[in-house]
Structure 1
Amino acid sequence: MSKRHYTWALLPIAAIAGQAFAEQGPSLEQLDQRIKILERQLENQKEEADAKAKDAATVAAGSNGFSIKSAKGDYEFKFRGLLQADGRFFLSDGPAASVRSNDGFLLRRVEPTFELTLGKQLFFRIQPNFAPDSATVSDVYGELRLDPAAVIRAGKFKVPVVLENLQASGATAFNERGFPNELGPNRDYGVQLGGALFGGTTSYALGIFNGASDGRDGAQQAKTAGDNRKEFAGRVFSEPFKNEPGLLQGLGFGVGGTYGTRERGTVGISDLAYRTPGQNTFFSYVSSGSVFTQSHGYEYRVSPQAYYYRNSFGLVAEYIENAQQVITNTGSKADTLHHKAYQGVANYFLTGEDASYGGLTKPKNPLGKDGYGAFELVARYGVLDIDDKTFPTFASATASASKASTWAAGLNWYPVNNLKIDLAYSLTRFDGGAAGTPSTVVVDRQDEKLVYSRFQIWF
């Protein structure tokens, strides 16, 4: 066969192969279309991934605790904690056993705290204390947050009166709060309306509570079946220059107080005792044999207070007067007693950190290659003065002091984030409170000389 004839013979085969290829393989236009579809699918997948990431919860950990928060921030769970391991060492070696009754090491607070924000309006907090000698539920309350200026709180929480008592336990300058806290209430069961006004420069709180004894938590129910009367408490506190940088920005002042009544024969105050910085009792009402003291009539507290923070310096000052009508169980003697307490607490950071009411959790230069942590000097002077009319009918002058005055100074060290180690010394002097020779002669109770320390983890 010639070459020409061979070529013509192959033409039908090439035509069939070309047709088959055309049927099986995509055209350029089809390939372009398929690429566009793939690109759109990838775009859709990215949009879905971005949307899921936007709605995913975020987990955060830092010096203020651990939290899990929804994408929009409406729902949040927070976990915080406080551990305080203390040492108390009394330098007084006198005959009074009570002077050294609390000498040694102890766990002062072991408090995990759980907080839930449920939507924009509901909040819940529970804070147990697992310290071996004082295990309890410190805080347990819920809030309905209608507005920053209107928050309703119900449950067990701190009564809004004493300034230092309202400060977080991990933020106080000294291991124990001062004498004004002995005359004011601690935590109680009740309901409260509070909030912030005028751009956050003023806060207020008004509540009704079961009624807490001085320096103690209130009872969940009436102490006896007949005591159904309640106690009103309120506080207003202003920081007028809070939003204006300058010399007065850290100034705050206000007043808190309570008012309530007690029914004779239903609530006694014989078990009420006032304590020193070493947590030793220096005053208590008469409670012996058939004679004891009872609350009867009204009781009120009023506490003007202020603080000032400027750079590394801080100062807290407060006063409280407690008026209580009392009566002997026989009804033969009754009176209104006015006890008073006041204190000033100063602190200064030697390493340049800013002092604040909220305390310090982060030193500027943590312990390591570049620093030694933060160092803070602290000092306190405080007085608790018992009404002279208390003696001798309602309290014994040879067993209870009529006045206690405390000087204290210390050094707090914050080596790393969330850790505080402190060492302090306090000297408490008394007027009266001990028996001389003969036993009817009143002499001053022995001074309390106390060295105390703390290892604190707070986040």
Structure 2
Amino acid sequence: MLSRLLSGAGLLALASAASVAPAHADITLVEGSETSPSLNLFGRLQYDFAHYDSDTRGSDEGVEMRRFRLGLDGEAGAVFYKLEGDFSQGQARLADAFVGLEAGPVTLRAGQFKTPNSLEELTSSGSVLFMERGQTNTLFGLGRRVGVMAEHSGEGYALQGGVFGNVVKDDLSTALDGSETSLAARAVWQPVRGEAGTLHLAAHVRATDYEDGKRFSTKPASREFGPIARLDYRAGSALGEADDSRLAGIEALWLSGRFLAQGEIMRLDIDGPAGDPSITSGYGVLGFMLTDDARGYKASRGALGGVEPNRPVTEGGIGAWQASLRAEFTDFDTAPAGELSTYAAGLSWWPTEATRVMFEAGSSTLDGALGDTDLDFVQARLQLDW
């Protein structure tokens, strides 16, 4: 099975790049000055292989370009900006596209970017511990939206809050058509920061109004399988139409030397359908660096950073290695979808700061009201940043 992964010319080329690429750094196109803005080019390429065995869909495997990001960012005095697109999977999609202003103790941001919800969601796709974010994030629709947000951080804390529309699809009008409007906020507390380690505690909320209802769905840790649970609360659905929802979540993270422990739990309450259904979902992750390396942490944003190997292969070392375990659980409570659980183990290798190779194996089980699903999966990723 893995021979199919290694036989792809594109994957081989990326694997070769992973062993010799320099440390990650934006490519400077224009040097900034007091009178002119700076401009940098950056990007990310992720190639994935996945195989699964399922009692409902049999076995399948595939190779895909998970992400191909290209973007520009820079600053001009107190103003900063970012424009990023994703050109993978045969289509072009807008990722981040915003302008920000450092206004004294407050940072303002306007455009399309991630709402202030979830430690794992706000951690970059290149730095999360596993290939895919948890089933919670997909199910609750966490991610980028058009909006405005204010941020403030200080010694041991960070505050974020804003108002948001929908995500940009074909054009800006789709994000501002009123189909979804949300208020979101997050508070981060870092009671321990120092040589002993970092303790991150946070809470976040989101209130969303829907014009024509909403469909909720989630995937297991293997994207190749596709959606595993769906709940259709759109207009005209037999389940009823969702008028609004309220999301609340708590986060915890402990970083100490080579060790990492991370967990989140969230609850979504939906108004409109009969019984006003609710969904509870969460995960727990343990990570351990097998080499003398450590994870970064972005205090002002309250998010995990990447890994910079102490001994990259470009300097004759073996790079950085990390082993991880994850358990996820979703209880659809009064929603007619049952319970979904996933367990996975992963191994990551950073030959350099800009390159990463990932291996994962796991299983997902849905005990559903309309039927059960069991699947096992193995998958791998080759990643390059610049």
Residue 222 to residue 417, structure 1, CA distance change in 2 (3 Å): closer
Query: What does residue 395 of structure 1 align with?
Result: none
Query: What does residue 378 of structure 2 align with?
Result: 451
For the residues of structure 2 that align with 1:217 and 1:344, how far apart are their CA atoms? 32
CA shift, 1:294, in A, is: 4.6
Letter of the 1:412 partner, please give it: S
Is 1:86 the equivalent of 2:42?
no
5 Å-filtered alignment, 1:7-406, equals 63-67=24-28, 68-70=30-32, 75-92=37-54, 94=55, 96-97=56-57, 100=59, 103-119=61-77, 121-133=78-90, 135-147=92-104, 149-182=105-138, 183-197=140-154, 199=155, 201-211=156-166, 220-221=172-173, 227=178, 230-242=181-193, 245-247=194-196, 249-262=197-210, 266-269=211-214, 271-279=215-223, 280-286=226-232, 291-327=237-273, 334-357=274-297, 358-367=304-313, 370-387=316-333, 389-391=334-336, 401-406=337-342
Letter of the 2:222 partner, please give it: G
Residue 402 to residue 390, structure 1, CA distance change in 2 (3 Å): same
Query: What does residue 5 of structure 1 align with?
Result: none
8 A Cα contact 1:63 1:361, kept in partner: no
* Structure 2 unaligned blocks of 5 or more: 1-21, 298-303
Is 1:414 the equivalent of 2:360?
no
For the residues of structure 2 that align with 1:452 and 1:317, how far apart are their CA atoms? 23
CA shift, 1:81, in A, is: 1.4
Residue 287 to residue 72, structure 1, CA distance change in 2 (3 Å): closer
SS in 2 for 1:375: strand
Letter of the 1:274 partner, please give it: T
Considering Cα pairs closer than 8 Å and 6+ residues apart, tell me whether 1 or 2 has the greater RCO.
Answer: 2
CA shift, 1:155, in A, is: 0.6
For the residues of structure 1 that align with 2:182 and 2:129, how far apart are their CA atoms? 30
8 A Cα contact 2:145 2:175, kept in partner: no
Residue 293 to residue 353, structure 1, CA distance change in 2 (3 Å): same
Over alpha carbons, which structure has the higher Rg? 1
For the residues of structure 2 that align with 1:455 and 1:88, how far apart are their CA atoms? 12
Residue 433 to residue 86, structure 1, CA distance change in 2 (3 Å): farther
For the residues of structure 1 that align with 2:132 and 2:171, how far apart are their CA atoms? 22
Greater CA drift, 293-302 or 174-183:
293-302
For the residues of structure 2 that align with 1:294 and 1:73, how far apart are their CA atoms? 57
CA shift, 1:203, in A, is: 1.2
For the residues of structure 2 that align with 1:285 and 1:209, how far apart are their CA atoms? 23
For the residues of structure 2 that align with 1:362 and 1:239, how far apart are their CA atoms? 23
Residue 256 to residue 371, structure 1, CA distance change in 2 (3 Å): same
Residue 258 to residue 371, structure 1, CA distance change in 2 (3 Å): same
CA shift, 1:142, in A, is: 0.5
Q: Deviation per CA, 1:316-359, whole angstroms, max 9, x where unpaired?
A: 111110111133xxxxxx23111011111121111110123444
For the residues of structure 1 that align with 2:242 and 2:172, how far apart are their CA atoms? 21
Letter of the 1:230 partner, please give it: T
CA shift, 1:386, in A, is: 0.6
For the residues of structure 1 that align with 2:118 and 2:370, how far apart are their CA atoms? 30
8 A Cα contact 1:211 1:218, kept in partner: no
CA shift, 1:170, in A, is: 0.4
CA shift, 1:450, in A, is: 0.7
SS in 2 for 1:230: strand
For the residues of structure 2 that align with 1:412 and 1:343, how far apart are their CA atoms? 19
8 A Cα contact 1:187 1:217, kept in partner: no
For the residues of structure 2 that align with 1:376 and 1:156, how far apart are their CA atoms? 32
For the residues of structure 2 that align with 1:282 and 1:297, how far apart are their CA atoms? 24
For the residues of structure 2 that align with 1:222 and 1:370, how far apart are their CA atoms? 51
8 A Cα contact 1:171 1:359, kept in partner: yes
* Structure 1 unaligned blocks of 5 or more: 1-60, 328-333, 392-400, 436-443
TM-score relative to the length of structure 1: 0.71
SS in 2 for 1:390: coil
Cα RMSD of the aligned pairs, angstroms, is: 2.9
8 A Cα contact 1:91 1:451, kept in partner: no
For the residues of structure 2 that align with 1:218 and 1:307, how far apart are their CA atoms? 37
For the residues of structure 2 that align with 1:339 and 1:359, how far apart are their CA atoms? 29
SS in 2 for 1:168: coil
Greater CA drift, 123-132 or 365-374:
365-374
Letter of the 1:202 partner, please give it: Y
Structure richer in helix, relative to its length? 1
Residue 89 to residue 62, structure 1, CA distance change in 2 (3 Å): closer
Letter of the 2:121 partner, please give it: N
For the residues of structure 1 that align with 2:136 and 2:169, how far apart are their CA atoms? 15
Q: Deviation per CA, 1:76-109, whole angstroms, max 9, x where unpaired?
A: 22222111000111133x3x23x656x3000011
Q: Among the aligned pairs, what percent are the same residue? A: 21
SS in 1 for 2:272: strand
Residue 337 to residue 211, structure 1, CA distance change in 2 (3 Å): farther
